[in-house]
Structure 1
Amino acid sequence: MTDAINPLYAKLLGETAAITWQELQPFFARGALLWVTPGMDLIEVATAVAEDNGSQVAHWLQNAAISKVEASLAEDLLARDPQLWAVVVAPWVLIQERAA
C-alpha cells in the first residue's frame, strides 16, 4: 500500500500563503479570483484546476463549491478583512477563508 503524495499537490501546498483582501483586489478587478468554500481542500481544488480536470471543476462550479468572486463577496471581504489563503494556478488565484 502506498500513500504517495501527488508531486503537484505538494508543490502547490508549498506555494500557498496567507494574504489580505487588500493584496487581492487587483486580481479581483481582472476577474482572476476563484473562491473556494470553507471545508473544501484548497490544494485539491488547485490541483484539479492545474491538471485541467474539467469534469471535477465543472462539478464543483455547479455545486457552488467554487465560484468566481462576485462583487457582493468582494464587499463582504473588504468589510470583514478575514484571514485568507491563496494559491496561484495561472491565470487564476484561488482563495479561501480560513477559520480564526
Structure 2
Amino acid sequence: MADGNADDVRSKLNLETARIPWKELQTYFARGHVVYVARSLDLLAVAETLTVDDRSQLETWMKNREVGDVPADLAHGWYEADASVWAVVVAPWVLVQDSETRN
C-alpha cells in the first residue's frame, strides 16, 4: 500500500472512531463481532492492520492477548459501570478499547 493510501485509510478510520456506551454494543458482543484492543496498542493502528489484512501482525497481537475477544469479566465490568469505550468499525467487527486510554 502506498503511503498516501495508508494515510487516507488512517484518516478515514480516525473520523469513524468515537466513544460509545458499552451497553449499545451488546448485540454485537453477543454475536461475537466485538474485538478487544489492549490499552497498550493504538486503536487506529490495529484497525488499519485489520483493514489491510496483515495477518502476521494480528496473530502476534492475538498470541500476546493484546487483540481478541473481550474478556467476560471486563465486559461485565463495563456493563455494570455503564462505561463508554472507544470504538471503530472494520466490518464486520467493532474494535473496542477502554475509553480511559486512546493512543
> What TM-score results when the alignment is normalised by the length of structure 1?
0.89
Decide whether the 8 Å contact of 1:37 with 1:65 is kept in 2. yes
Residue of structure 2 equivalent to 1:9:
10
Match of 1:60 in 2: 61
TM-fit CA distance, 1:91:
1.0
SS in 2 for 1:61: helix
The answer on 1:98 being equivalent to 2:92 is no
What residue ranges of structure 1 are gaps of 5+ in the alignment?
none
Q: Where does residue 81 of structure 1 map in the other structure?
A: 82
The 8 Å contact of residues 86 and 94 in structure 1, kept in 2 or not, is answered as: yes
Q: CA RMSD in A?
A: 1.7
Aligned length: 98
CA contact (8 A) 1:85 1:98 kept: yes
Residue 19 of structure 1 contacts residue 85 of structure 1 at CA under 8 Å; is this kept in 2? yes
* Amino acid aligned to 1:93: V
Unaligned stretches of 5+ in structure 2?
none
Give the ranges of 4+ consecutive aligned residues of structure 1 lying more than 4 Å apart after TM superposition. Answer: none
Give the deviation of 1:64 after TM superposition.
0.9
